[in-house]
A = this chain, B = another copy of it.
Amino acid sequence: MDLQNYVENLTSEARNSSLDLAVARSEIKNTVLSKMASNLRMCSEELKEANQKDLAEGNKNGLSDAMLDRLELTDSRIEDMAKSVDDIAELKDPVGGVIDGWVLPNGLRLTKRRVPLGVVCIIYESRPNVTADAAALCVKSGNAVILRGGKEAIHSNTAIYRQLKKAFNDTDLPPNCVQLVETTDRAAVPPLLTAEKDVDVIIPRGGKGLIKHVMETATIPVVKHYDGVCHTYVDERCNLDMALEICENAKCQRPGVCNAMETLLVHKNIAGDFLPMMKDVYDKKGVELRGCPIALKVLSDINSASEDDWYEEYLDLILAVRVVNGVDEAVEHINRYGSGHSDAIVTDDLKAAETFQNAVDSATVYVNASTRFTDGGEFGLGAEIGISTNKLHARGPMALEELTTYKWLVNGEGQIR
């Protein structure tokens, strides 16, 4: 098979289908989504069978237990996947919404109307539920989608994809609104990343290596979902119990995700009181601390942090700890070492809170709350395709609205310049 031709065929089919999908009514899109969900439920045995092949190969290839766990499809995970597609059908359709509009002095009527992006290409790793989620979010927002999953999940993804595809039977929508790259050949990726004519946006979800490769190769706009080096700064004037709770939650509630805390910053005037109490909490949870020289003076039995630790996204029960002179130094540290994802201050001081929220250049900046809330569902936006670390187009949780763009409609009665 000629891969270049294969990909060109995928992308041009996606473009053609996208034009029909863009003008489809919500009720038609929702019908397809409901059928997707019921197909997934009805074929759970088939899905589990395909998944077994992936698990067996994963075992053979020495995937870690954590990876195998993420890969596995159980009855309850299949039900969750179907439920999530049903939930997306229930969300409000963003397409057609009017963002703004006015009448010009010359009588021209301007309307800035929300429309689908067109063709979305999602490149992801591991979890097979992304196949269903991403397809459902794209169809709901009127976008044709090209799915490129990880090699280790190819059998599961293909089986899920078949059920999604069947949902288009007996509808007015072209089935090629949703397409999966059915080869695991890596050479299929570069032609996708440069299909400017037919693909409007690339959304990579996965490890840093994947995202770096996409950014370097793509000639199409990329909305990246990069790392989360998230901070919590505990200020001098604060409720220490609240600080303990927030710092425990931000680090320990789910350490493997991008909105978990990776570095704790503490005001020098409370470090002596706060750090020993905090360490007691973390000790119980098995968190390893790595401290700056001043932190080491307070907590003599922890390891020292290297310069690299400040940049590190551990995604694990490890935490870098630094004592700072105040909010300005905390902000400087965050803007220098952080990844612009989610950062929090715990304080009772109005000026410190305002300085922190103004000056920290991150997608989400918290006062007195855990960074773990950065999530489309938690924000009340509905399901998300990911959390963007881009500044352009989408920043933070990327939900249905962020899968749209706008067009300007201008209506007149013969106006010329």
Contact = CB atoms under 8 A, between A and B. Distances in A.
A357 B409 contact: yes
Contact of A393 (B215, B393, B417): B393
Contact of A410 (B216, B223, B373, B405): B373
A369 B414 contact: yes
A37 to B, nearest CB: 26
A208 interface: no
A396 B408 contact: yes
Interface in A331-383: 335, 353, 357-359, 361-370, 372-374, 378-380
A285 interface: no
Contacts of A414: 239, 242, 245-246, 368-369
Contacts of A406: 395
A39 interface: no
B373 A417 contact: yes
23 contacts: A19-B361, A22-B359, A104-B380, A110-B380, A117-B392, A196-B215, A246-B416, A253-B417, A364-B407, A365-B407, A365-B409, A365-B410, A367-B410, A368-B413, A368-B415, A370-B417, A373-B417, A378-B417, A392-B392, A393-B393, A395-B407, A395-B408, A396-B407
Given A366-B412, A367-B410, A379-B408, 6 more contacts: A19-B335, A196-B215, A242-B414, A253-B416, A366-B410, A369-B416
Copies of this protein in the assembly total 2
Contact of A108 (B222, B242, B369, B390): B369
Contact of A405 (B108, B219, B250, B395): B395
